[in-house]
Structure 1
Amino acid sequence: MSCRHDVREPAASTRARLLRSVAAVFALAALTAPAHSHAADGASTDVDWWSELPAYRASESAAAPIAPASAPPAAEASPSPVVAADPGDVWDRIRSGFMLPDLTTKPVAAATRWYQDRPDYIDRMASRASLYLFHIVEEVEKRGMPTELALLPFVESAMQPEAESHARASGLWQFIPSTGKRYALEQNVWKDERRDVLESTRAALDYLQKLYDDFGDWHLALAAYNMGEGGLARAIQRNRRAKKPTDYASLRLPRETQFYVPKLQAIKNIVRDPAAYGITLPAIRNEPYFVTITKTRDIDVTTAAELAEMPLDRFLALNPSFNRPVILGAAQPTLLLPADRVETFRSNLAAYEATGQPLASWTAYTLKPNETLARVAERAGISEAKLREANRVPPRYKLAAGSTILIPRDETMGEDIAPELLRASFTLVPEGQHLRQITYRVRRGDTLQKVARRWNVRPDEIVAWNRLRSEELFAGQRLRLTVAVRPAPKKAAAPAKKSAASAKVHATARKPAARGVANVAGARR
């Protein structure tokens, strides 16, 4: 571990270094995963079935496997004997808490072989898990849940809390935005608790317990966690109508879900007896890796890492939920630090605060109407490119008036960011367009996803704008939408008979494709 003892750099160099470091580290945060697909009946099982495993960052060099379109019914057997291990090791705690009946199917065997053939991949996942696994096992055991659940982040995210899928699922436990909100995971300008190690684990176990209470079976609960409880309930109802069994093995499920539980079983097989598969799991001590501290003042992410004398990427591995290069004290955030770094952090913090220098080199600013990032950057003495990096504003996008951004903090800005800005607005708009609120009346057959695609917005945004308790829509329901709009094209030959205020406004919509744009003037308000 590299250590830095000089944490009292001049403000200007700190600001420049912060921009370089944070931009580099946050650039690694976005990860991808394949879109979900459904199985076709009767397809061959001879294909390499593992390709539906999420594709993680470039360091995960192992190719992802492909799931077969169909598989034999899953047979359940009694759990295999647990292999004895060092009682001081977390793996032993996990083995001793296995409760689920084993699945012994071809997909399980194929998944197990895939992992067995990639010991380096297992080693990387297990090494990352050394930061989080003790805490996860503690929480699972407190609830009396099967310890197999502690292995689920290996399947969901390869134990990467910054993992993000194409479906916008995020974190160790891969919550989509709407489900995260249902389980009280804050998602705002400053942080995304779906990536928070403590909060996401709490929410995931709450959700899994709820699913088990609903379906009465852990395999069904796991399937619902992957595909959604509504989809699983419909699959069960189909079997009931057909007078078929409703256990996990008997249900017709989407292809990804068919092989989701077998992936977990494969990880379980290797953890239970790694030597049988030629795998050596790195030891993880049966003790807390991290401790928590609470901050009440704004502090730069890089400054916090330096005070703890730990590399920035290691600090972010424990604190991946922060979206900006400054941590807001108004939220009283909980920081995670390795147990052996806490006293160093406290000592350096006391020395730093004694100098009177601010811990944060950023403050908040709310954009005025017609104010551009270029103009703000010029006044703040920073390039527009660096301002965009700090605020994650991509090229060819601007921000709507009222959006709150970070700007460099100067000597005249002594106050921390105000508590009321914890829920600040931050709205990206494609250049050449602006935003307008409309009311959309739900049609028969509409779903949240269809409406979102039609109006080029995200499903979770519709849920938030309308405070929906459920993602189910009904015909006639009125939804408030904030859509990107642009003026209608001007007719060159036609004389201007109407004032600019009466000009039609058009909103870009993905459907119907033939029209290209939909007239917002006709929408109900």
Structure 2
Amino acid sequence: MSMPFLFRSALALVLTLLLAACGTLESQRSDEAALQPVIPSGALTPITPGNLDSWAVQGLQPPADLWQRLRAGFAMPDLDTDMVHDREDWYASRPEYIQRMADRSSKYLFHIVEELERRNMPTELALLPYIESAFNPQAVSHAKAAGMWQFMPATGTYFDLRQNAFRDDRRDVLASTRAALDYLQKLHDMFGDWHLALAAYNWGEGSVGRAMAKNQNLGLGVGYTDLSMPDETRMYVPKFQAVKNIIRDPAAFGVVLPDIGNHPYFDIVDIARDMDVELVAQLAGIGVDDFRTLNPSHNGPVILSAATTEVLLPWDNAQTFRRNLANHRDGRLASWTVWTTPRTMNAKEVASSLGVDEKELRSVNRIPANMLIASGSALLVPRSAATLYDVAEELAHNGQLKLMPQRQLRRTTVVARKGETVATLARRYGVAAADVAEWNKVGRNTRFKTGQRLVIYRPAATSTARASTAPKAPAQRARTRQAAKR
């Protein structure tokens, strides 16, 4: 067989295979075309070429400086008014004040920025405590607002910030920040505007709502600058905007901000047993004042684990605390416990009945002079060596110290009427049945004999009170009638 013949045969075979393959591909394309949706003519538009602003690639490293990270999240519209410029000048002329506030905020700012980013909220809201409290978590206003976010008692209760004899969560770093951001988001959802939300945070949502309704009825605008409001609220957002402008560009205002690293300042450690504050600080290797800076909600010398399951410690000291606690061999962690008063008492009576120092009792529980401790009050008292159990959860969560003015009481002897009981005698003289029973050393359900002599203590009448109830002289009565006529 000749080579040309073999070559022609091989070539014919290759051509046959290629034609078969083409037929298969055509068949597959036909099948695929049948499965594609039919796109109407004109439904697609040409792609418009875009302009590339920069060839730079976004870095993957997080900002090394917290200020940079904070600025990157600014998302609220700016306010540009004369009041803003006035407040800029005020702050810029006090660089030591800005420095002091910024130094104080360095312990808390990272956590607040983290929370804002997690909630997708504008990060400049982290600057609000500068306006509210200068970032002092122990701040208390004349209106009794407390903490770095300045919660009023009722608003704090609404947002689950506990306020009892042992702690005030309006000062708690984590709890108050959570509540403040909840509240600010609620206000923004209500008004749809961050400036109005801030005004409502300061003035109250009801006040802002009424001011907006009034303007609507008059056909006026309902923005922040349109509303009639108190001077404090009128200046509130400009102060906030001024601080924001200074933080955004401190060099423009001649301000130097302290370095704040983009990392946590504190760590959270668990508390499983009641512990003295001094012991926690000692095991962590920090001072008591440093502990209270991060845990300002604790009012006394002891942490009650049933209500406070964790505390904050500087990042490195948290690990020191865990290690030292694990090696702590003394089983006694708390030298204080809680005692509930069985009746209304004064501090001297409590101290005497418990065998404790009255001055220390008053100091730890903040009991002023000439005040009575109401029945059922929760008091911090020294824990005896025999007391091994921790304070119960109900008491740790809800214990309250109730004080009342101490009146001068006068001992009076009275005679029991027919059928007289402790309860009826108490009602007759307007005193507590428990006190009547205590004064006469009888049970609460005792029935007295007719004519039985009993002891009652009643407020002593002051000279002012006696004078006010004495009959008026004729001339005085005449002056009173003339005054009434006028």
Return the TM-score normalized by structure 1: 0.66
Equivalents in 2 of 1:184, 1:319: separation in Å?
17
- AA matched with 1:87: P
Kindly indicate whether residue 352 of structure 2 is the aligned counterpart of residue 426 of structure 1.
Answer: no
Equivalents in 2 of 1:128, 1:212: separation in Å?
28
Structure 2 counterparts to residues 241-280 of structure 1, below 5 A: 241-280=217-256
Equivalents in 2 of 1:500, 1:202: separation in Å?
48
Change (3 A) 1:500 1:426: closer
Aligned to 1:347: 323
Equivalents in 2 of 1:409, 1:428: separation in Å?
23
Deviations 1:337-377 (CA, angstroms, capped at 9, x unpaired): 1111012111221222x232x11110111112254321332
Aligned with 1:402: secondary structure? coil
Aligned to 2:306: 330
Q: What is the Cα deviation at residue 131 of structure 1?
A: 0.3
Kindly indicate whether residue 206 of structure 2 is the aligned counterpart of residue 230 of structure 1.
Answer: yes
1:215 to 183, 191, 197: 191
> Which protein, 1 or 2, shows the higher relative CO under an 8 Å CA cutoff with sep ≥ 6?
1
Deviations 1:245-300 (CA, angstroms, capped at 9, x unpaired): 00001000111000000010110111011111111100100011111012120001
Unaligned runs of 5+ in 2: 1-61, 418-423, 432-457, 460-467, 470-486
Aligned to 1:443: none
Aligned with 2:165: secondary structure? coil
Equivalents in 2 of 1:335, 1:290: separation in Å?
10
Change (3 A) 1:141 1:376: same
Aligned with 1:200: secondary structure? helix
Equivalents in 2 of 1:500, 1:101: separation in Å?
65
Q: What is the Cα deviation at residue 203 of structure 1?
A: 0.6
Change (3 A) 1:501 1:345: same
1:403 touches 1:425 (CA, 8 Å); kept in 2?
yes
Q: What is the Cα deviation at residue 383 of structure 1?
A: 2.2
2:63 touches 2:69 (CA, 8 Å); kept in 1?
yes
Q: What is the Cα deviation at residue 496 of structure 1?
A: 12
Equivalents in 2 of 1:395, 1:302: separation in Å?
27
Return the TM-score normalized by structure 2: 0.71
1:307 touches 1:344 (CA, 8 Å); kept in 2?
yes
Kindly indicate whether residue 386 of structure 2 is the aligned counterpart of residue 412 of structure 1.
Answer: yes
Structure 2 counterparts to residues 434-449 of structure 1, below 5 A: none
Unaligned runs of 5+ in 1: 1-85, 434-485, 508-515, 518-525
Aligned to 1:400: 374
Moved more, 181-190 or 376-385: 376-385
Kindly indicate whether residue 178 of structure 2 is the aligned counterpart of residue 202 of structure 1.
Answer: yes
User: Larger % of helix: which?
Assistant: 2
Moved more, 272-281 or 376-385: 376-385
Equivalents in 2 of 1:345, 1:188: separation in Å?
27
RMSD: 2.5
Higher Rg of the two aligned structures: 2
Q: What is the Cα deviation at residue 242 of structure 1?
A: 0.4
- AA matched with 1:409: R
Aligned to 1:189: 165
1:115 to 81, 91, 98: 91
Moved more, 290-299 or 421-430: 421-430
Deviations 1:171-221 (CA, angstroms, capped at 9, x unpaired): 111110111111111111221111110111111011100100000000000
Deviations 1:144-170 (CA, angstroms, capped at 9, x unpaired): 111110100000010011111011111
Q: What is the Cα deviation at residue 504 of structure 1?
A: 5.3
1:146 to 115, 122, 131: 122
2:344 touches 2:372 (CA, 8 Å); kept in 1?
no
Equivalents in 2 of 1:390, 1:499: separation in Å?
37
Aligned to 2:350: 376
Aligned with 1:329: secondary structure? coil
Kindly indicate whether residue 429 of structure 2 is the aligned counterpart of residue 503 of structure 1.
Answer: yes
Q: What is the Cα deviation at residue 415 of structure 1?
A: 1.3
1:293 to 269, 294, 308: 269
1:152 touches 1:264 (CA, 8 Å); kept in 2?
yes
Aligned with 1:258: secondary structure? helix
> What is the aligned-residue identity percentage?
51
Equivalents in 2 of 1:317, 1:410: separation in Å?
29
Deviations 1:69-99 (CA, angstroms, capped at 9, x unpaired): xxxxxxxxxxxxxxxxx93111111111111
Equivalents in 1 of 2:325, 2:416: separation in Å?
65
2:74 to 76, 98, 102: 98
Equivalents in 2 of 1:239, 1:295: separation in Å?
53
Aligned with 1:195: secondary structure? coil
Equivalents in 1 of 2:416, 2:304: separation in Å?
51
Change (3 A) 1:287 1:409: same
Change (3 A) 1:379 1:109: same
2:140 to 164, 170, 180: 164
Change (3 A) 1:118 1:500: same
Q: What is the Cα deviation at residue 384 of structure 1?
A: 1.1
Aligned with 1:211: secondary structure? helix
Aligned with 1:406: secondary structure? strand
Aligned with 2:339: secondary structure? strand
Deviations 1:221-254 (CA, angstroms, capped at 9, x unpaired): 0000000000000000010010000000100011
